[in-house]
Amino acid sequence: MRIVLVFAFAMVAAIPAAGAAEVTIPERYHGSWQPTEMGKPAGCAANDADIRIRINTNTVDLHEGQCIVREAAAQDDGSVQVRSDCGQEDSAWAADEQWSLAPDGSESYLVIAGRSAATGDYRYVYGRCAG
């Protein structure tokens, strides 16, 4: 039943509004990312696949879920304000997040910061995985 609900949510969320322009996440954010700490390389071992996210043109793939990006607005400081509708296992939520790459210009780290009604402010650091 959960699989059917998640699939149904994903299908409804994937239908763009009439006349809506397709949202595009900047290419420098695309790829596979694993949680880590700033300055510490991501392990990216095969058995860690369930903790990674994969950022695509207008979606973020999660373990057993996905976010459909509704808005990706470039900010003056080089970051991107990302608004998305997400579903994972038996839950769904809207996300409003600030995405930025490491300040050293290496694009090796992604910082995602936002606020959740359930948990308050959050900040996650991801390291880029090869491939």
Q: Which residues constitute the domain of residue 62?
A: 2-129
Partnered with residue 115 across adjacent β-strands are 121
Name the residue among 44, 100, 107, 45 with its Cα closest to residue 77: 100
Name the residue among 70, 55, 62, 54 with its Cα closest to residue 14: 70
Q: Provide CB contacts within 8 A for 39, sequence distance 6+.
A: none
Domain count, the chain: 1
Q: How many helices (H) and strands (E) does the chain have?
A: 1, 8
Higher-confidence residue of 57 and 39: namely 57
Residue 112 φ/ψ region, left for φ over 0, alpha for ψ in the -120 to 50 degree band, beta for the rest: beta
Question: Mean pLDDT over residues 94-121, rounded?
Answer: 89
Structure token pair of residue 84: 């998305």
pLDDT at 40 over 70: yes
Partnered with residue 92 across adjacent β-strands are 87
pTM score of the predicted model: 0.79
pLDDT at 24 over 60: yes
